[in-house]
Structure 1
Amino acid sequence: MSDVLITKFPVTAPDGTEFRVKIEDVYDGGDIRVLLHVKRKRFGFRKITGYWYDRRKLDDITEEGVVDYVALVQRFMSEYYAGLAYGAARDQLRIDKDARKQAAVERFNAWDGRIE
């Protein structure tokens, strides 16, 4: 089998965002690289993320040694959006913690120093 380098634009996410997806599959029993790009305002594309998939761990989307690239991109996009959601939740926890710290500092500063 020969090497595969395929590109698809647009790949539209459920939220309407359009991406360019590039898949590099060098058939030597190794990894498959998936790259995700967004369109620039003026021209061209900007890479935002990429991931190397181990071919041996893609048995659920492989049939007779051939990877289903559509299923691979769907998995990749699902993992990408899950990562975004996790990052947003982590950021919100950090903001909440900072707000609680600030409230504790303000309570301490307002305290008259008396122990009852």
Structure 2
Amino acid sequence: MVRKNYSEEQEKMARFAKAMGHPARIAILQFLASQECCFFGDIHEELPIAKATVSQHLKELKEAGLIQGEIEAPKVRYCINKENWKLAKKMFADFLGQPICKKESCCE
């Protein structure tokens, strides 16, 4: 079996896409992005998502690098990871801006 080597950028973009591949995670990202600063509190109180479910989704978003979170007892602080957010934005814009086909008439 031949192993395919993907570029670091392809791997990173796929990880971002996977992390954003659930509506609850999109809702969490939209909520955090709408905040003027980091959010101190329980996201499950702000969104219609169960506390255990929120924890799982936050973990996935954090592992992908799209958010940051730190425990500052008794609350947890959550923020968009601005550096990775800008990177994801650029990667997806570049990817989705590519022409679909080299020939205009082939995909009609």
Same fold (TM over 0.5): no
Structure 1 length-normalised TM: 0.32
Structure of larger gyration radius: 1
- If asked which structure has higher relative contact order (CA below 8 Å, sep 6+), I would say 2
* Structure with a larger share of its residues in strand: 1
Structure 2 length-normalised TM: 0.33
